Amino acid sequence: MRGVSRGVERMKVASVVGARPQFVKAACLSKALRAAGEEILIHTGQHYDHAMSDVFFQQLGIPEPEYQLSAGSDTHARQTARMLADIEAVLLKEKPDMVLVYGDTNSTVAASLAAAKLGIPIAHVEAGLRSFNRQMPEEINRVVTDHLSSLLFCPTDEAVAHLVREGIRDHVYQVGDIMYDGVLAFRSAALAESAMPGKLGLQPGQYVLATIHRAENTDSPGRLAAILGAVARLGRTVVMPLHPRTAGYVKKWGLERLLNAPNIKQCSPLPYLDMLCLLHHAEAVLTDSGGLQKEAYMLQVPCVTLRSETEWGGTVAAGWNRLAPPDSEDAIVAAYQAIEAPHESPPIFGDGHTAEAIVRHIVHFLGRTSQ
């Protein structure tokens, strides 16, 4: 049975990543894992172009993946099925003691299914998050992964409570948020090395940063039009790093006129350090990204989330984040106009030492020493 001590043998963990938020998390955790044992890094290729993948590995010092798969773009079912088969082949070859997955992507659920079918324990980083919206593919991925996992690493107390309500109590740990480790580790480098926001001709505090990529927004012509229409009405320069998915749907729905509004400054997806610097100096954020909501809170930048719900309820409760259902231009504009930075930001994402805590729990679970 897996998870039984074998004396002083070093552990072997297979970590699976595929999308840019996972690369930032892996930058922090891979170093700690490799100090305690062997890590096999598997890149599924879910995000596969240079701007969305390679540049992150280069900037953040992430080890070169031992396995580079070719998931590419496709329907959810086809992409997940392709990754499931490819990851299974790697696991059969490498025979790791544990498979570690991050977040809520198709890469996450594919790796979890492959590991579970082979009887390999799963460690889920960012466990317990819930939007309670089963129309979101990410919500399905979270729920399935949590119920398959042997170790569940929750970023907040709220996430722990969600798991308890679902009957998941064993090996559940509130360790803080691994992305906070990343913000603390890379913030100084971002501010020192990035040419943002000056490279885009912007003054600090005089622009809004906006990102759109979730299927619920991009795949709906009404919602995408409402978001772009609202952005054009903010009365402030808006920087929009354009996700390839979003660019495709803007063209498909014939919304180029809205995207080309005079106050919208488009750019390609940015490397992490540039994005972190741009966020640090922004007046506010408009986004449907879960990761950017958190990073805005960590850097004390007010945020409007372009969704009806969020997994990060603590940021809303603390007053730094407002929900704006993207069905109405007026609702989005009103949410932006109402934002105001609170005086305090409670430490809801931990102390910045999440990576060390995760590795300690993995070592204990597997019965290995770190020598």
All structural domains of the chain with their residue ranges: 12-177+351-366, 188-338
Angle at 23 between CA 20 and CA 25, to 5 degrees: 120
Residue 5 has pLDDT above 50, yes or no: no
**CATH 3.40.50.2000 describes domain 12-177+351-366:** yes
pLDDT in tens, 174-183: 999 999 999 9
pLDDT the model gives residue 1:
33
Q: Is the whole model's pTM more than 0.85, yes or no?
A: yes
222-226 mean pLDDT: 97
pLDDT in tens, 144-181: 999 999 999 999 999 999 999 999 999 999 999 999 99
The closest of 108, 144, 102, 150 to 126, measured between CA atoms, is 102
pLDDT in tens, 43-96: 998 755 544 556 767 778 788 899 999 766 668 899 899 999 999 999 999 999
- Domain at 188-338: CATH code: 3.40.50.2000
Active site residues: 213
Mean of per-residue pLDDT scores for the chain: 91
pLDDT the model gives residue 50:
46
pLDDT in tens, 126-135: 999 999 999 8
- C-alpha–C-alpha distance, residues 70 and 56, integer Å: 17
Matching residue, tokens 């009405």: 233
> Is the model more confident about 221 or about 7?
221
Residue 359 has pLDDT above 60, yes or no: yes
pLDDT in tens, 228-286: 999 999 999 999 999 888 999 999 999 999 999 999 999 998 988 999 999 999 999 99
Residue 223 has pLDDT above 80, yes or no: yes
Matching residue, tokens 């770190």: 370
Q: Is 108 exposed, middle or buried (0-12, 13-18, 19+ CB in 10 A)?
A: buried
Alpha helices in the chain (DSSP H): 20-36, 55-60, 76-94, 106-117, 137-148, 157-165, 178-193, 215-218, 221-231, 244-252, 256-259, 272-280, 290-298, 313-317, 329-338, 354-366
Element at 16 (helix H, strand E): strand 12-17
CATH topology agreement for domains 12-177+351-366 and 188-338: yes
